[in-house]
Amino acid sequence: MKFLIVGLGNIGDEYVDTRHNIGFIAVDALALSFKATFEPGRYASIARISVKGRQLVVIKPTTYMNLSGKAVRYWMQKEDIPKENILVIVDDLALPIGTLRLRAKGSDGGHNGLISIIETIGTTEFARLRIGIGNDFAKGYQIDYVLGRWTKEEEKTLLPRIETTVELIKSFALIGVERTMNFFNTKGK
C-alpha cells in the first residue's frame, strides 16, 4: 500500500526555517527519523520510507508554493496513489503556533499551495494536516510574518509538535485518517 506525503514550502536558502516552510520542516523530520534522504526528482525532492509494510513516497515540491499541484499530480500518477492516500502538510495562520489539525478533506482555506493542488488534481478529497504558525503580526505585515524565521521562543513550542507530527504521519499510513484524527486532533493542542 502506497501513500503520498507532501510537505509544502518554498525552495531556496531565503526560505529555510521560515514559518511558511513548516511542511518541509515536518517531512524533513520524518525522513530523518527513518534515516531516509531526499533525492532530486521531477517537480520535487523525494524520499522513500517503509512503515510496517506501507510505502511512503515523501515529497517536497520544487515548484514553489503556488504551483504545488504540478508536483502532487505528477507523483500521484507516477506512483499510482489514490487521493485517499494523500496527506498534505501546510502552515496555518488561523491556528496558534504548534496546533495540529488533521482533516480528511476540505477547502483551501486561502492557502496558495492547497489552492494549486485542488485546482490541479480536481478534488478537495485528500487529507491535509494544518500546523499552526500563529498570527502575531501587525496589519499589512502578513507576508513578512509568514516568510519570517521562527523566534527562539516559537522554536521551543514547535520542536515537540514536529515530533508529534512525525507520529501522526505514521499513524495516517497505518490506521487511516479517521482514527488518526480522533487521536491526534484531541491530543494535538
Q: Confirm if 91 and 146 have CB atoms less than 8 A apart.
A: yes
Here the cell at position 58 is 515523501
Per the residue annotation, which of 20, 70, 101, 161 is the catalytic one? 20
Active-site annotation holds for 20: yes
Q: Confirm if 99 and 131 have CB atoms less than 8 A apart.
A: yes
Residues linked to residue 50 through DSSP beta bridges, in sequence order = 55
Could you tell me the CA-to-CA distances from 65 to 10, 30, 143, 172, 183 in Å, in that order? 6, 20, 13, 23, 29
Looking at the annotation, which residues are catalytic? Answer: 20
